Structure 1
């Protein structure tokens, strides 16, 4: 079709282990209320790895990736707030904009969103294979591609001074970490905080805690290298994980942290999190575990100590509000995000980037596309 663009994309078919293939697919023109974005940078996120490693199930074939930033290159009918050339960050959770959750400022809680089904809000996909069969954008984004089509409200305009590699991370890891601190935990200056897991999301949480004025900020990991990165991001203390972690946290915080974040998605560390906070404290689950795994918590102790467990879905973000705030904090120097990126790669290197993630060698890889 004349209005279909041929696009290079990283495709997961599920028939070659955890490998992605870079292929040419068709991308239809944006429809009513949609825009096409030329992707300039796409983050390599653990949520994608869950799919590739068989821990989460998605529609196949899937165009992978969900952290993206780029430039609007085409607009569909009815688009009013964006124009060609605008720099945008993509929100992967594409809420319906009409339900009670959306209209009360909680789009992350929208139950009508089709993002987890890898479909646009109208229940369709703009991607197609050579034979005309459908392909599906992971989390309604499919960011690991030269171009994508998303609803106008999912493309958030930001200051053009923000580099695309940094901007891409605002759409998920940085935004999630920032939102977990500001929106979910509502950390205030002087509170003691613990972050378990110093990967991309964990470092984003640490950066946001520094911005909020938390002290001390204790990073926990099994990697000395990642703990060094955590100190660069703003951690005041760095601790190796272990059976006596609760005792060490209690000693460093005079009885336990006010708030603790789990940024891995590992059941064992999620279960340990309430032990790290003082009575009345908050434990925030940010990391996402494989499907079907259960977390066991001592309900009596939880109630007796008045502790709160908070589930953080996309950091409780309101993208149109929070993405520009994060961008502004970065430009002011209050939120140094460049240090979160440990590797910049090309699309053809995507499998290597995921392998490095599995080995725990990088905080965040970002795929860069030619301008």
Structure 2
């Protein structure tokens, strides 16, 4: 099978010239007990993939990238009795064990064994199964490695969906939808009549805009330096949109004393600091983007106890995938979440390297790749 493998990180832009991902032929791995073999139908390019390539997220190499995808189950390993060959599935980038401290508290996105296996490039139920033809290990990306014809994943890394959901739609629900929608509905728990500011209008930020707009009586303010992204946010339901320099003015005009929620989907410490200043008393700043580990924030400590403001981290939107993916797909079916607006185009997997620049420069929202030969 083909797999897009990264062998050197901290690759600078432009990416097309350096071609950091090599499409390699590797043996199709066999699922072990508790695992599945999935034929990948569509895989999306996400900023989290780019963060591994540019060195912002440190991962063990070589690694087969790709974590947002959908496909069809080809084969199930021993002990898997609730998923069958032929089932359509969305892949999820945090496999939850179901019994650790986080899972027991109802927060599977923070699963301890899932985080450990993701960080080491392994799978939840054992070591990496990807190999080069001569037997050398290739690490898994977030338990998925979806830029490939097939993926062996833990049963806990998939959610079964209805067969009639188009692959180009389903592909966006394993990361962008869970993260953006979940940040609004789960982490922030946005309530009727509240105001929300979304910084960063990539797929995650635009999913957050859609989710906020469907809560009755909300005021949604979308911020991004690119006019095209601002226009897209308005199509997704934002009431106001502008550049970062416009943020304070827009919040002042649209709210009474600041926003109830500010959601940061950029991955920037400076944006987090700016967002904190836009909050109303008692407001919540939700950190969704993944800044480089070297970035730090500096702020007046009194903002929290003195003004009742909260800083909330949101990983994978605090989602419960088995619950949330079907629920979000239902909202899409009802026309409440028009996620098809975010689908820029579908390209063959051979276009991956050229697409890295388009994503980094904001020229695409969700470019989806087909693995059809």
TM-score, normalised to structure 1's length? 0.95
Query: Corresponding residue for 2:161?
Result: 158
1:1-371 mapped onto 2 (5 Å cutoff):
7-14=1-8, 17=11, 19-113=20-114, 114-213=117-216, 215-242=218-245, 245-370=247-372
CA contact (8 A) 1:215 1:236 kept: no
Consecutive aligned runs of 4 or more in structure 1 exceeding 6 Å deviation? none
Instruction: Report deviation, 1:16.
Output: 9.6
Q: 1:122–1:128: structure 2 CA closer, same or farther, 3 Å change rule?
A: same
Please give the alpha-carbon distance, in whole angstroms, between the structure 2 residues aligned to 1:87 and 1:122: 22
Separation in structure 1 between the aligned mates of residue 9 and residue 332 of structure 2, nearest angstrom? 41
**Partner Cα distance (1:312, 1:23) in 2:** 34
Determine the C-alpha separation between the residues in 2 that align with 1:120 and 1:229.
37
Aligned-pair CA distance for 1:146: 0.8
Q: Secondary structure at the match of 2:113?
A: coil
- Say which SS state the counterpart of residue 295 (structure 2) adopts: coil
- Partner SS for 2:304: helix
For these two proteins, the number of residue pairs brought into alignment is 364
Distance (whole Å) between structure 1 residues aligned to residue 74 and residue 110 of structure 2: 30
Q: Which stretches in structure 2 are left out of the alignment for 5+ residues?
A: none
Gap change, CA 1:287 and 1:130, over 3 Å in 2 = same
Q: Which runs of 5 or more structure 1 residues have no equivalent in the other structure?
A: 1-6
Range that drifts further, 196-205 or 53-62: 53-62
Give the SS at the match of 1:321: helix
Question: 1:214 Cα shift?
Answer: 5.1
Tell me, in whole angstroms, the C-alpha distance in 2 between the residues paired with 1:16 and 1:349.
20
1:15 to partner: Cα distance: 7.3
Q: Does the Cα contact within 8 Å between 1:193 and 1:214 map onto a contact in 2?
A: no
Partner Cα separation in structure 1 for residue 284 and residue 291 of structure 2: 19
Instruction: Judge conservation of contact 2:101–2:112 (CA < 8 Å) in 1.
Output: no
Q: TM-score, normalised by structure 2?
A: 0.94
Q: In the TM superposition, what is the alpha-carbon distance from 1:298 to its structure 2 partner?
A: 1.5
Aligned equivalent of 1:4: none
CA deviations on 1:196-240 (whole Å, 9 max, x unpaired) are 111111001001112223521100010101100111111110111
**Structure 2: distance between partners of 1:101 and 1:16:** 32
Matches of 1:120 and 1:171 in 2, distance apart?
17
CA–CA distance in 2 between the matches of 1:67 and 1:213? 30
State the secondary structure of the residue aligned to 1:140. Answer: coil
